[in-house]
Structure formats: structure tokens, C-alpha cells
Structure 1
């Protein structure tokens, strides 16, 4: 399967997630959507604890040693089963402590019961190690499509929060069963000696997994704190706004997936990566800066159009959150460079510092400013993580930042959004026309200033050019 089709499927799944959030927010209201989103944040932390970097590490081993693939799969399932079992009880306790009595707690408990079924991701990792990308892509698309169809049916029938959670559990169980049935045809686990190999796998995965868990914690804890301090409605507004940021992360994740193997190959071969590094930074700035700036201007209309007028209060958190998007790009690029260079320790050290430092700051910001304070806390964390990792990666690999290109991109962005700052039409059609005008001005400024060149476009369209650069 071509990379372009994979990207299109991932984008389609992300957009389906936005549609699901829009339907559920209108159906459940801001409070109900806040409870549902908080439960999802809790299981996201639990699943990160259950994975602990095991899938990525095992996938690498299975690809490198295909004859031991079945043994590695058995070890992966053993290790994940242990971790997920340990994570289930604290998750249920968190639901009991955070969510109010009655239907919200019942719904939260039902959602937490999906945690053990994430064990099926081990079979997906085995399929990916065999380069069966079509299988994994189809399963991902199937999961998104089934959940979207269920949400549409639930909203049409007026289902309660508990029934929505029940449907979420049922769809998770069904998808896990299908994943196991499909992937077991290509790889079956070997259980003999699985415990010993699981220990080895855990030790190898620990540095990367610890970083992933810490990252998930500082990503998700603000929503849980907001529910506790600001109430369900504020949590619902923030979760709706955050959904856009989650969807946008498909862009840096795609860039990360393309660049990591190329950078790894060039570093292993002792070849320079300065040109590729500069292109990556300029590309990330060229994409993320206008999205953040224009998105902040149209945040009120976006929240009302996608969700409803009930969620218009989420416009300010969305506008603030979007300014973390350029820093998220930096984080992805810097993480890729450090992983390729074999420097994984800075990832979890920086993540740990970010988590410990952000908790009191985010608590104070939420207490003072509610959902907007939570969004500001996210921006501060991303600025620290992105800039710190970039500085470490650049110093370790002796890389220079492309200040001239970044400055030209920043100026082009300011020129493009200037019309939006001067005039704001009352009607949506006029606002859309102004956004299109800003996009045209921005692209023209990029080309005329030399911030984006023909050579850059050739690099983007051809992996071979990157390898030969």
C-alpha cells in the first residue's frame, strides 16, 4: 500500500473522530460530553501504561528477527497482559474518585472495561512487522467507521450516557476480536519461555515507554483536573477544543514517520543531515504557524459550526491551544532526531520535568481561568518540551537552525493574517472568503521571499531526493 493512501486513511479517521465528537457533544450536552471525555482521558493513561513502549520495541525485534516472531509475540502478549491488568484497578478507582455518582460513574466504569482489550494491539504490531500495512490500515478504518455509525444511531435514538459507554465497550470488544482473528492467520504466539522473554522486552522498552507514559500524563491530566476544579461543562468545552489539536497531530506524526527512517539511515551511514534538518524545521513552521494564527481568529465560528452555540465558550481555549501546534511539530522532529541518534534518555528526562513542573502551574491556571487556563498550561508545557528537545538534538548532532528561513516564514504569516486582524465579517461566507484570501497571500509571500523553493518541493515529492541530498 502506498504511503499516500495510508496518510489519506489516517486523515479520514481523524476527521471521523471530529464528526463523532461533534455528534456526541450535541447529543450529550457540555456536561455529559465532559464526563465522557474525562473517562477517555483516564483510559488513555491506562493504555499508555499497558503499552510502555512494548509495541514499538517488539515490532522492531520481529522485523529484525522474523524467525523468532512468534516467540516475540508471545512475550509481548505476556508483558502487556500483566501491565494492563495492573492498570485496570487504578483506572476504575480514578473513575470513582473523579466522576460524580450515578450514570457518569457507571459510564466511566464501562469505558474502563475496554482497557484489557487493547491487548489486541500486539497482533497489529506483529502484522506491521511483516509489512502487512493493508491489514492494519483496514482494521483502523473499520474501527473508525463502526464507531461513527454507532454514534449516529445512538444520537438518533436519544441514548443516554450509559448506553453510549456500553456501545463504546461493545465496539472495542468487537474490533479486538476481529484484529486477533485476522492477524493470527499470519502469526501465532509461542508461549514457551514467554515470561523470560517478556522481562527482556520490558527492559528494552522501558526508556521509550517511560517517556510515552509521561507525555500521556501531561497531555491528559489537565482535562481531569479541569473536571475536578471547573466542573463538567468546562471540561466539555475544553475537550471539544482539544479534539481539534488531536486531529491536527496527524500532520507532525506523518512528517515524523517519513523522516525517522531516512534520518536513521543517514546517521548510521555517517552522512550529514543538516539540509534535511533545515527543511524539516522550515516545513513545520510553514504548516503550523498559519494554522495556529488563522485558527485562533476563526475559533468562535469553528466551535459553533462544528459543535453548537452551547460550546461557544470553548472558542478561547481553542484559540490558545492552537499556539501549541508549532511546538508540537518541534517536539516530533526533535524526538525523531534523538531516537535516530540513539539518545532516548533526554526524552523521558524532559518529559518528567515537564510533568512535575506543570502540575502545580496548571492547577493554579485552571483555578484562575478555567478551561482557558488549562489551554495556557498546555502551551507552556509544549514550549518547554519542544524547545528543550530541539536544543539537545541540535547540540548533540551539531546542527544549525535555519533562522533566515524561519524568519521569512514568520513574516509571511504576519502579512497573511493582517486582513483578518483589520476586518471581521459578520457572516460566515465573508469570513471564509477572507481566510481564502489570507491563504493566497501567504503562499505568494512564501514563494516570493524564497522561504519555500522549487528544490524543497522536489524533496517533498521524492524520497530519493532526500536520500541523495
Structure 2
């Protein structure tokens, strides 16, 4: 589970896209915004989603070229380096991005000062993380991936610029993150194609990676100058950010442990090829996070100001968010399970056949991932982060113990099974915490009906074997029809998000 609002150092970005919602008033740091209706929010989110889908296509094309060029073992070596670089960026964030975004949403006049202070904090920690990665790589801790890790680590401080998306999130500007994701995706595709055609090795590929991250960071800084101009950093502001973000920092370390270190454990126990299979399967889970990312993007600033709403409106927002989340999670899982063999064969080739079973298990994990996005975003936006920290640390300890056991016995399949169990626990627990935080009711009946619809759809597809093209259409039709019949999503919900009134 990635943190909402975070841009990773990996060119195929999985950052949460800030979608447009009710914009803020004019202030000293930026141009005036005007209140948008629910229809405006939905339209802007749809446009941003389209840009993200285009970036997704570019990203998957890049992954296909990269995997076929490097083969499972080489792909595993490079994927491990990117995993470690991304983990370092997550640790460097320390919950700063979501804290800064929530504060900007509530304290508009101080936006520039808050954002610049957050940038200084994250840059400082990113430099420390870089030194740690370089030292570990110099000591040969990552085996044959160590030289690649040394190069990728150079890009870690540049990840600090990802915090600039916090201003975009608070100001409901979807085009910022969408454009950045598309730019970096295209640049990375060009880099990978050049390396594949010239026969460059994996270390040269890592240097191209650093170049792409550098260019993407420059574009992001230039765009942000017109959105939320940076102010003077403040020690007092840093204290306020730390006071709110330290539980999120602990939580980030725990999330990194159960989300990223599985690949490191798998590498040491089973070798690079198994990491290649696992990373190939996990890539689908990464890109699928586009769905929940688009969902929670407008949710963050809305929830950050929800304490002024009446109980009925808070319950409506919470119910719609959780019901939509479970539909996105289960629907995506159904499609991934139905298409797993075809997706792996088409994108990676026959050499990656062992990645099919891990992909099916990770598809199940995606249901928990989506619910975790919703629950964590709501709790973090309202500052209820200590329970999240306790939960993630506890789960991380169990996860790591289970990873050593499962990876040693079943390789990539075992790692995927542990991930599925972990994400389910995190998803359910965070949604329960979010319900208590917003004093709202969890729509258990509707959510359960969606899970039943998904299981029934998979069972039908398993009993009736069809060509993958027909199976994809059948999966979408059967699941969509079951959701409508269960009334998990109703016409009243559609009217609400398309109305000319505020959500």
C-alpha cells in the first residue's frame, strides 16, 4: 500500500493523483479558485483519469520491453534496485506529504510556508536515506544488485520534490500529477527502448533511470511555481509538521517493511529469478492502484475539512467512498484473475509463466489495498494516525516472519500469499478505524454483497472456460450486473456525483 499523495522515484509513477473537488478560496499564495459542483468534480476527475490511463499504457509497454530484454534474472536484479530506491523514498517521506496536504487544505494563507518547510524536511531525510543505501550497496549487502542500487540511490534525494504534489492535492488540481506521470512515463519508455536497441547493460539502464527522474523533477518544480509558490521555511512550522507526522513516519517504516522488503527476503532465499516473477506480477498490482488513487485524491481535502459538516453528510461521504472502494477493488481483482495467463504471456513472454499464480494471489490482495487507501486517507486527513501506526507496525512484524517462512517454501507464490493476507487485514482494520473517526456507519451489507458478486463471477469463469477476450467481457458484464442488482451502487449515488451542488 502506497501512501496517498506520494510520488516514488520509479519512473512508472504510482503517485496518488489529486483530483478536482471543491476548490479553495483565494489567498496570498496563489490565484483564486471557485467552488465546483459535484459534476465539476466528477468531470475533472474523469479527465485526469484519462490522462493516467494513457500513462498506464505507456508504463506497461515499458515494462514489457524491459522484461523481455533483461529476462527473469536480469529483470529481478533491476527490479530489486528500484524496489530499494522506492523504499528509501517512502521512508524519507515520514508522513510529511499527507500532513502538508491536509494543513494546506485547512490553512490556505500559509500554504507557501507549509509547502517549503515540508520540502526541506523531506530533502534532508532523503539525503540520509541515500547515504544509507550507498553504504549498504558498498558493503555488498544486495549481492549482484549492489552496483545497480548504488546508481539508483542517487535519485533518492530527487524524490523529495514529490511533496510538491501536496499543494496540488490541497488545491484540487488533477492536471499536475497526471501530466507529471505522463511525462515521466514517456521519458522512461524512450530510455528503455534506447538501452534495448543498443544492448546496454543494467548499470547503464540505472543511469538512464537517474536522468529520467532528474528531468521529471525539473518539470514538476516548474509547474508548481505557478500553483503554490514556495515561501520561507520555518522552524515553528517544522515543529507543527513533525508533531502531526511522527506516527505516520513510524507507519511508513512499517508499510515499507511489509510492502517492499518481501522482494529482498525473496532475493536472498530464492535468487533473482524468483524476484523477477514476483516483480512481474506485482507490476500489475502497482498500476492497478490508479483506481483507488483517483478515488482518494478528492477524498483527502474533503475529509480534512469534514469536521465542519453535519453527521448526515459525513456519513454519506464515508459510505460512498467505502462502497466505491470495494467495487473498484473487487472488480479489478476479478479482471486480473480472469486475464492472468494472457496478461503475463502477452507482456512478459513465456519465460515468465511462473508469475501467473503470484498474480492471481496479488489480485486478491488488491481488494485489501483499495480499502486500505480509503481507510488510511480518512484517518490521516483527520490526524488520527497513532492507531494506524500501531496497526501497521504490528502487521509488519507478523508479515516479515511469515515472509521468511513462505518464501523459503514456495518462492514468489508464498510471498504473494503473505501479501494477500497482509493487505486484507490492513484494509479491513483501517476502514473500521475510519468509520469510528468520522462517526459514520460502515456499509457492511453492501460491501459484503460486492465480495459475494466477485467470488460468484470468478467461480462461473472457472467452470466455463472461454477465450481470454470473451472471458474479459464476460467478467466485466457479470460482475457489473451483480453489483447493480445488489444495489451496492445506486442511481441516487450517480445523481449525487453528477449534481450541480457541492458533494
The alignment's TM-score, normalised by the length of structure 1, stands at 0.88
Matched, 1:343 2:369: no
- Please tell me whether residue 458 in structure 1 is matched to residue 498 in structure 2: no
**Residue pairs, 1:211-360, within 5 angstroms:** 211-272=251-312, 273-360=314-401
Tell which deviates more after alignment, 6-15 or 315-324. Answer: 6-15
Paired position in structure 1 for 2:100: 58
The answer as to 2:207 corresponding to 1:143 is no
CA contact (8 A) 2:102 2:304 kept: no
Distance 2:490 2:105 in 1: 37
Confirm or deny: 8 A CA contact 1:79 1:202 kept in the other structure.
Answer: no
Moved more, 317-326 or 173-182: 173-182
Q: Which moved more, 1:250-259 or 1:434-443?
A: 434-443
- Inter-CA distance 316–93: structure 2 relative to 1 (3 Å threshold): farther
Name the larger-Rg structure.
Answer: 1
Paired residue secondary structure (2:501): helix
- Bigger Cα displacement from structure 2, 377-386 vs 268-277: 268-277
- Offset, 1:99: 2.8
Given candidates 390, 413, 430, the residue that maps to 2:454 is 413
- Equivalent residue number for residue 100 of structure 1: 143
Which of 86, 99, 121 does residue 79 from structure 1 map onto? 121
Range that drifts further, 363-372 or 403-412: 403-412
Deviation of residue 265 (structure 1)? 4.1
| Per-residue deviation, 1:23 | 1.2
CA distance in 2 between counterparts of 1:260 and 1:314 reads: 35
Which stretch has the larger CA shift, 171-180 or 309-318?
171-180
How has the CA–CA distance of structure 1 residues 453 and 200 changed in structure 2, closer, same or farther, with 3 Å as cutoff? closer
**How far off its partner does 1:124 sit?**
4.6
Change (3 A) 1:436 1:138: closer
Task: Please state how far the C-alpha of 1:336 moved relative to its aligned partner.
Answer: 3.1
Tell which deviates more after alignment, 181-190 or 265-274.
Answer: 181-190
Q: Does 1:436 align with 2:473?
A: yes
Gaps of 5+ in 1: none
Deviation sequence 1:266-309 (CA, Å, 0-9, x none): 44223223344333333333332243234224312211111111
The answer for unaligned runs of 5 or more in structure 2 is 1-19, 21-43
> Larger RCO: Structure 1 or Structure 2 (Cα < 8 Å, ≥ 6 residues apart)?
2
Which has more helix, going by share of residues?
1
* Per-residue Cα deviation, 1:219-264 (whole angstroms, up to 9, x for no partner): 1010111111110000011001001111111111221223344444
Query: Retained in 1: the 8 A contact 2:318–2:435?
Result: no
TM-score (norm 2): 0.83
Given that 1:241 and 1:318 are in contact with CA atoms closer than 8 Å, whether structure 2 keeps it comes out as: yes
How much does 1:433 deviate? Answer: 1.0
What secondary structure sits across from 1:464 in the alignment? Answer: coil
CA contact (8 A) 2:45 2:294 kept: no
Provide closer, same or farther for how the CA distance between residues 422 and 346 of structure 1 changes in structure 2, counting only shifts above 3 A.
Answer: same
The count of corresponding residues between Structure 1 and Structure 2 is 459
Shift in CA distance, 68/442, structure 1 to aligned 2, threshold 3 Å: closer
Describe the shift of the 1:394–1:154 C-alpha distance in structure 2 as closer, same or farther (beyond 3 A): same
The whole-number CA distance in structure 2 between the counterparts of 1:463 and 1:111 is 47
2:482 is equivalent to residue 445 of structure 1: yes
